[in-house]
Chains A and B, each alone.
Chain A
Amino acid sequence: MKKNTFYLVTGCIALALLLIFWYSVELHTPLLIEIAFIIGIALVYLAQRRVTGVINDERDVKIGEQAMMRTMQVFWVVFCAFSIGAVMQILYVPTFPRPPAGSPPPDLLGPRMIGYIQLGLLCLMIFLYVGFRIYYARKYGDFETDEE
């Protein structure tokens, strides 16, 4: 498979996932998009292995590793900060004066808010990775011009 064919296939998979996501939202069935996402990513990896004419050498691997490591270093702090907030929901201790017995604990983070925060975290992770990838690509000479 050529490189451009791979990009075409990846684009088709992304489009299919978008449609399934929309359909999944319409049906209120998150399992559908979750399974489709895993299958989609597996298909992209399979297609990637069949690409010919592209050399993924040690410098590319190093750029990818460094970018992912830095992304995780930043991301885990943000993720833990959010998670600590979410854990408060589990460890809810009634304040004084105590609410009447049997009353439900207040929603510190509602399900919708958790969804928004997770979307934000997902976007943050993608932006961090792309940003660090560009930074390390520049650092290891990806944008160097040549006299040849």
Chain B
Amino acid sequence: MKNKIKIFRAMHNLTQEHLAQAIGVNRQTILAIEKEKYIPSLDLAFRISRYFGVNIEEIFIFDEKTPVLVPHE
């Protein structure tokens, strides 16, 4: 899953440390998410997007290559 955290951080002039403290995680976690080494939980993803005041999909981009099972109606 790709994300735009780095861009949003730059827009808000925030360091990884500041963002990490604000949402209650380690700086290394922010770094891991930015480098796409770790996919955050839904809870953390919402906290990040709420912090920047945007919708979750504006920051996290779902990888369309991942197969999605659509339930039968």
Which residue among B26, B28, B41 has the maximum number of chain A CB atoms within 10 Å of its CB? B28
Q: Are B25 and A57 in contact (CB under 8 A)?
A: yes
A34 within 8 A of B: no
Contact of A140 among B24, B25, B37, B44 (CB under 8 A): B37
In chain A, residues 113-148, which have Cβ atoms closer than 8 Å to a Cβ of chain B?
139-142, 144, 146, 148
Given contacts A144-B37, A148-B16, contact A58 B25 (CB under 8 A): yes
Q: Are B38 and A59 in contact (CB under 8 A)?
A: yes
In chain A, residues 53-70, which have Cβ atoms closer than 8 Å to a Cβ of chain B?
55, 57-60, 62
Question: How many residues does chain A have at the interface if contact means C-beta atoms less than 8 Å apart?
Answer: 13
Given contacts A140-B38, A141-B37, contact A57 B24 (CB under 8 A): yes
Q: Are B29 and A57 in contact (CB under 8 A)?
A: yes
**Can you list, as one digit per residue, whether each of B11-35 has a CB less than 8 Å from chain A (1) or not (0)?**
0000110001000111011011001
Question: How many residues does chain B have at the interface if contact means C-beta atoms less than 8 Å apart?
Answer: 17
- Give min CB distance, A112 to chain B, whole Å: 46
Q: Are B15 and A141 in contact (CB under 8 A)?
A: no
Q: Are B28 and A141 in contact (CB under 8 A)?
A: yes
In chain A, residues 72-120, which have Cβ atoms closer than 8 Å to a Cβ of chain B?
none
- Give min CB distance, B58 to chain A, whole Å: 22
Nearest-CB residue, chain A, relative to B32: A141
The docked-state distance in angstroms from the alpha carbon of A144 to that of B27 is: 11
Q: Are B37 and A60 in contact (CB under 8 A)?
A: no
Contact of A141 among B24, B25, B31, B43 (CB under 8 A): B31
Q: Are B44 and A58 in contact (CB under 8 A)?
A: yes
A148 partner residues in chain B, CB cutoff 8 A? 15-16
Given contacts A58-B40, A58-B41, contact A142 B32 (CB under 8 A): yes
The docked-state distance in angstroms from the alpha carbon of A139 to that of B29 is: 12
The docked-state distance in angstroms from the alpha carbon of A59 to that of B44 is: 10
Q: Are A139 and B37 in contact (CB under 8 A)?
A: yes
Chosen A-B contacts, 7 in total, with CB atoms closer than 8 Å, are A57-B25, A57-B26, A58-B43, A59-B28, A60-B29, A140-B37, A144-B31
